[in-house]
Amino acid sequence: HTARFTLDPAFAVSPVDGRIFGSFVEHLGRCVYQGIYEPGHASADEAGLRTDVLDLVRELGVTAIRYPGGNFVSGYKWEDSVGPREDRPRRLDLAWKSTESNQFGLSEFIDFVRKVGGTPMMAVNLGTRGVAEAIELQEYANHPGGTALSDLRAEHGDAAPFDIRLWCLGNEMDGPWQTGHKTAEEYGRLAAETARAMRQIDPDVELVACGSSSQGMATFAAWESTVLEHSYDLVDHISLHAYYYPTDGDRDSFLASAVDTESFIENVVATCDHVGARLKSKKRINLSFDEWNVWYQDGSGPTLSDEGRGADWAEAPRLLEDNYSVTDAVVVGSLLIALLRHADRVKVACQAQLVNVIAPIATVPDGPAWRQTIFYPFAQASKYGRGTVLDVRPQSPTHETKRFGTVDLLHATAVRDEETGAVSVFAVNRSQDQALPLEVALAGLDLTEVVEHSVLADADPDARNTADQPDRVTPHAGAGTTLVDGTLRATLEPLSWNLIRLG
Ligand code: AHR
């Protein structure tokens, strides 16, 4: 009952686009306020950013950061969020039934992104707004100067353009919950015309059209097809969103969530390429998996606190503050493996979200910031998952799951650093009670030692970190891992995430 695969650099999937280790900052709950921004906090810098959070974001290794939503963006008036703070209006946020103070806005976001060494991924509002407001925002953000809006930015204290290269054309426009929800025809036309206008300002911007909010949407695939028929030549990526949580306590199916992620990716690729074929186009549309995570959407999982939706227009209420377990972290690791395995088409991905709201980082107002369990697989994948993904085709023992049928116990990928030749193997054992022996044959790889085997697993699969016990769950060293005569041998603990580094 050993799982096996072969690694050979002659069989590679694709170089990794570092932007797949992206994240997401939405004006939702305490992601911005009391999350990344808390002016009165002991660690706050001159801009009101919590430096303890900045440190954790850097450690997490986040690249592209999507902003300002999410559902929030479909009511967003960017003009409210710039200029002197005392003049910024307070507005109703229809998406989260909150009050938005606009004390944190576009300039503050760019400052944040620069301080963490990330790339901004800005969404425009195609819910309540359209082409005009999108190009006005683009002019304000990116034009060097000499026009009303670019000079206004300079007057607001930002002489240098923000140089935002990556833009989302709205958010989840297929979802009936979205303010300004549209049919695929309506959205496809609007996305195309917005893209055309944005390219009139700058032909080189990278644009993401909205795909489906999940593979389960009734309009899935037909939506992508129609949207791309209108916008194929004008956009670069189509978005995917997916959240997972266990239903009816079915942990085996939950641990196999990435089966859905991989089929979702493959179905979107097929749909994109089908439209490309019909249009006789050589161009390929890439995928932006710009919302993914574990999220107990039915409220069944432990939360640090959740005041519930409809909190009567409160300011920065505690919303969606899921408290993640070891099991959740193993699923997050498996979702990262799914993204890496499809690095040939997935060029951007954002874990949703970054701080407090379904997030790897949590904060206590006036208190410390700490790492949830899901922090660790993300940080390790971002740090060691750079290079070229090798084609991993495991032969693995299987088990039966209610939701996905027969599923491999092993889920794995491997990334080779082209400069050093070092290889990182990322592997999940989906079995709740069986250790899984792993054998990897190394062909054409000059590797001689196991540099590290790091494991996230626990005797209690529900173990979690909290503000009081922030280090209850941390990675530990794996035992007995060897590399002899070109064969790596390891034992993967039950229900575990593993990073094995070979040098
Ligand atoms: O990330 C939370 C929400 O999930 C986002 O606002 C929305 O886009 C999605 O439905």
From the list 26, 38, 108, 291, the catalytic residue is: 291
pLDDT of residue 418: 96
Q: Which atom of ligand 1 lies at the shortest distance from residue 172's CA?
A: 8
Res. 364: pLDDT tops 80: yes
With a CB cutoff of 8 Å and minimum separation 6, the contacts of 75 are: 91, 92, 93, 94, 95, 125, 127, 128, 179
CA of residue 46 to ligand 1 center, whole Å? 30
The string of pLDDT tens digits covering residues 440-467 is: 999 999 999 999 999 999 999 999 999 9
CA of residue 389 to ligand 1 center, whole Å? 29
Res. 233: pLDDT tops 80: yes
Beta carbons of 75 and 125 less than 8 angstroms apart: yes
pLDDT band for position 490 (50/70/90)? Answer: very high
pLDDT of residue 421: 97
With a CB cutoff of 8 Å and minimum separation 6, the contacts of 50 are: 35, 36, 37, 38, 41, 43, 44, 363, 369
- The Cα 340–Cα 16 span in angstroms is 7
CA of residue 291 to ligand 1 center, whole Å? 7
pLDDT of residue 5: 98
Active-site annotation holds for 291? yes
- The predicted model gives 260-283 an average pLDDT of 98
- From 31, 74, 98, 171, mutation site for ligand 1 pocket: most ligand atoms within 8 A of C-beta: 171
pLDDT of residue 457: 98
- From 23, 24, 25, 26, mutation site for ligand 1 pocket: most ligand atoms within 8 A of C-beta: 26
Res. 218: pLDDT tops 90: yes
φ, ψ at 486 (rounded to 5°): 75, 15
- Domain boundary assignment for the chain: 4-8+390-502, 9-389
Residues with CB under 6 A from ligand 1: 26, 28, 69-71, 171-172, 213, 291, 352-353
Least confident segment among 296-310, 351-365, 486-500: 296-310
CATH number of the 9-389 domain: 3.20.20.80
- The predicted model gives 99-114 an average pLDDT of 98
Active-site annotation holds for 262? no
- The Cα 440–Cα 392 span in angstroms is 10
pLDDT of residue 299: 83
pLDDT of residue 158: 98
- The Cα 356–Cα 53 span in angstroms is 11
- The Cα 45–Cα 102 span in angstroms is 19
CA of residue 82 to ligand 1 center, whole Å? 24
pLDDT of residue 303: 81
196-220 burial by CB neighbour count: b if 16+ within 10 A, else e? ebbeeeeeebbbbbbbbbbbebeeb
Q: Express as a percent the part of the chain with pLDDT over 90.
A: 97
- Which residue's CA is the closest to the ligand 1 atom numbered 8? 70
pLDDT band for position 19 (50/70/90)? Answer: very high
Res. 306: pLDDT tops 90: no
CA of residue 26 to ligand 1 center, whole Å? 8
Res. 18: pLDDT tops 90: yes
- Which residue's CA is the closest to the ligand 1 atom numbered 7? 70
**DSSP bridge pairs for 398:** 408
- Which residue's CA is the closest to the ligand 1 atom numbered 5? 70
Tell me whether residue 402 is exposed, middle or buried, using C-beta atoms within 10 angstroms of its C-beta: 0 to 12, 13 to 18, 19 or more: exposed
What does the block give as tokens for 166?
């990556």
- 3-state SS string over 398-460? EEEECCCEEEECEEEEEEECCCCCCEEEEEEECCCCCCEEEEEEECCCCCCCEEEEEEECCCC
Around 252, how many Cα atoms within 13 Å sit in the side-chain half-sphere? 16
Res. 307: pLDDT tops 80: no
- The Cα 28–Cα 353 span in angstroms is 10
Q: CB pairs under 8 A, 24+ apart, for 417-420?
A: 417/386, 417/387, 418/15, 418/387, 418/388, 420/503
ipTM above 0.90, yes or no: yes
The string of pLDDT tens digits covering residues 164-205 is: 999 999 999 999 999 999 999 999 999 999 999 999 999 999
From the list 172, 224, 321, 493, the catalytic residue is: 172
With a CB cutoff of 8 Å and minimum separation 6, the contacts of 287 are: 237, 238, 239, 240, 265, 268, 269, 272, 342, 345, 346, 347, 348
Res. 300: pLDDT tops 90: no
Amino acid at 286: N
Res. 309: pLDDT tops 60: no
pLDDT of residue 312: 86
Helix (H/G/I), strand (E/B), else coil: 222 = helix
- From 28, 71, 125, 181, mutation site for ligand 1 pocket: most ligand atoms within 8 A of C-beta: 71
Superfamily of domain 4-8+390-502: Golgi alpha-mannosidase II (2.60.40.1180)
Q: For the chain, what is the mean pLDDT?
A: 97
CA of residue 71 to ligand 1 center, whole Å? 6
- The predicted model gives 325-353 an average pLDDT of 98
- The predicted model gives 115-128 an average pLDDT of 98
The string of pLDDT tens digits covering residues 368-380 is: 999 999 999 999 9
- Which residue's CA is the closest to the ligand 1 atom numbered 6? 70
Q: CB pairs under 8 A, 24+ apart, for 443-446?
A: 443/6, 443/7, 443/8, 443/10, 443/486, 444/8, 444/9, 444/10, 445/7, 445/8, 445/9, 445/416, 445/421, 445/486, 445/502, 446/421
